[in-house]
Amino acid sequence: MSHSAITGRSKLLGIIADPVAQARSPGLANALLAEQKRFGEFVLLPLHVPLPSLGVVLTGLRGIQNFAGAIVSMPHKEAIVPLLDEVTLEAQTVGAVNVIRRETSGRLIGTMLDGEGFVAGLRSAGYAVHGKACLLVGAGGAAAAIAFALAKYGCTSLTISNRTEARALTLAARVQAAWPGLQVQAGKPPNGRYDLAINATSLGMNPTDELPMSLEMIENSDLVAECVVAPEITALLETARQKGREIHTGVPMLASQMALMLEFMGVE
C-alpha cells in the first residue's frame, strides 16, 4: 500500500467518532480497499469529532466534493439521525445510523448495518440466531440494531437489560410492536438460561470499566458475545472464558460489516 497511490483524484471516506484513536475501521477498511485494488481511488481516514461539533462537521462534509461517505461510531449513531437529509427504512426503524454517504448534490444519506453485521459475524463463526434465547445488554444505537436483527433472524425470546431501565423498556416495546409473535421483555433478567448473551454497550473499551453483565448472567449463558472491538478480548470475554463459556469477539461483526459499509459509501 504505497502512499503515492493517494492522488488529487482520491475520494475521501471517514470514520466519525469520539474517541477515535482506538478505532480499527481505518486499518480494516484500507486493507480491504487494497485487497479490492481500490486503495488510492478511495482512502478512509479517522475523524475525531466531539458531539457538540457534529452538526458543523456534517455541514462541512456536504461541501467537500470528493467526500464519499463515513462510518458513524460512538457517541454519534443516534444524534446524527435528525441531521441527515435522508435515512433508510432500517435506520428509521432502529433510530440510529452507522454509515453515511454523500450524493453528488451534497445530500447526506444514512443507513444502519450494525444488526446485519452482528448476525453475519456470528454466522461466520458458525453460530446461528434462529431458535435461540437471547440476552442483550444495552439500549443505544448498536443495541437497537442488534435487537431488530435478532428478531428478524428468528430468535425465540429476547431480554433487554440496560442501566437506564426506561430505555430498555422503550426498545423492548418497539421490537415487540414490529414482531408481535416474539417474546420480548426488559429489565432485570430472570435467572433463566440464555443461549446467547450480547454486550452492546461501550463498557469494556477502558480497562477500568465495570463488567456490563453480572457473573450470574455470564454463568447462565452458553455463548457470550461482544460488540467492543478494541481490546479484542475484553474483561467480559476473559471472565466468560474463565467460567468455561464459549466467547465471540466484536471483530467478526466489524469485518462482516466493512464490505457492506464500503458498498454503501460507493465502493461498488
Say whether both 101 and 147 belong to one domain.
no
Say whether both 108 and 124 belong to one domain.
no
Residue 38 lies in a domain: yes
Say whether both 177 and 76 belong to one domain.
no
Q: List strand residue ranges (DSSP E) for 26-177, in order.
A: 42-48, 67-72, 86-87, 99-102, 108-111, 133-137, 157-161
Residue 87 lies in a domain: yes
Give the pLDDT of residue 1.
47
Torsion 222-228-233-239 (CA) sign:
negative
Residue 267 lies in a domain: no
Say whether both 184 and 211 belong to one domain.
yes
Q: Give the CATH number for residue 174.
A: 3.40.50.720
Say whether both 159 and 57 belong to one domain.
no
105 is in which domain, residue-wise? 3-112
Cα–Cα dist 114/96, whole Å: 10
Say whether both 83 and 55 belong to one domain.
yes
In the sheet that holds 86-87, the strands lie side by side as: 42-48, 11-17, 67-72, 99-102, 108-111, 86-87
Q: Which residue has the cell 432485570?
A: 188
Say whether both 129 and 79 belong to one domain.
no
Give the pLDDT of residue 188.
73
Say whether both 28 and 127 belong to one domain.
no
In the sheet that holds 157-161, the strands lie side by side as: 183-186, 157-161, 133-137, 194-199, 221-226, 246-248
Say whether both 217 and 129 belong to one domain.
yes
Active-site positions read 77
What mean pLDDT is reported for the chain? 95
Say whether both 67 and 154 belong to one domain.
no
* Residue-level pLDDT, tens digit, the chain, 268 residues: 455 589 999 999 999 999 999 999 999 999 999 999 999 999 999 999 999 999 999 999 999 999 999 999 999 999 999 999 999 999 999 999 999 999 999 999 999 999 999 999 999 999 999 999 999 999 999 999 999 999 999 999 999 999 999 999 999 999 999 999 999 999 876 668 999 999 999 999 999 999 999 999 999 999 999 999 989 999 999 999 999 999 999 999 999 999 999 999 999 8
Question: Domain count of the chain?
Answer: 2
Give the pLDDT of residue 99.
98
Out of 112, 134, 163, a domain closes at: 112
Distances in whole angstroms, Cα of residue 266 to Cα of each of 69, 116, 166, 248 = 8, 19, 38, 30
Out of 61, 84, 112, a domain closes at: 112
Residue 82 lies in a domain: yes
Give the pLDDT of residue 190.
64
Give the pLDDT of residue 3.
54
Say whether both 69 and 189 belong to one domain.
no
Residue 263 lies in a domain: no
